[in-house]
Structure 1
Amino acid sequence: NPIWWKSIRVKCKYNSLLSFHTFPSDAEIRRKWLVAIRRDKFTVTPHTRVCSRHFNKDDVREPLSETGRRLLNKGAVPALFEWNNFTLPTSRPGVWERRERPSFVNYFV
């Protein structure tokens, strides 16, 4: 059964490419996270998570243990959001790319 968490802006489905991170206990870093995510009337609970897609690639460490958990580097702050023009590339080609087009040879035959 897949695990779903409502990430800060989008619903993210747990998979091998994404990781979900709890808010830091350090008050200063937590404050930076709250400023970065720009949510009004937002309450952090023990279940609140931020998806790894909101962090720079260099902030997320690949799993080094048998648990397979990705960890954040110390002091990492989420920085990638729609309001700062961050978008993920689409995972599948659009209709135009999927459409089979005849080759030029067929036009001249």
Structure 2
Amino acid sequence: MQRVCFELRVKPDHIDAYRAAHAAVWPDMLRALKATGWNNYSIFMRPDGLLIGYFETENLQASLDGMAATEVNGRWQAAMADHFVGIDLPADQAFSYLTEVFNLDEQISAL
């Protein structure tokens, strides 16, 4: 299982709208994420709008391609487009990926 972490930044004046949208994600979007291999997906956000997303997948590119092929993802990305700082692509194409530097389970298993 591949563990994926990414960051984006939400515009300060869009934080409330972003939170509201994610408190009630469209059911067809939820189903599409699950069907395309986005597992254990969470999004965290600081008060200043720094957003960190995390999910697990068998194959990152297959999960991204799977979502890109869905109609609902296009609608969702369009609805979210104005919320982010400094990107001119759909958010799911503009992730800034973070490198994992510590994993407790891996190190415990190696003992």
Q: TM-score, normalised by structure 1?
A: 0.24
Considering fraction of residues, name the structure with more helix: 2
Bigger RCO of structures 1 and 2 (CA < 8 A, at least 6 apart): 2
Considering fraction of residues, name the structure with more strand: 2
Q: TM-score, normalised by structure 2?
A: 0.24
Larger radius of gyration: 1
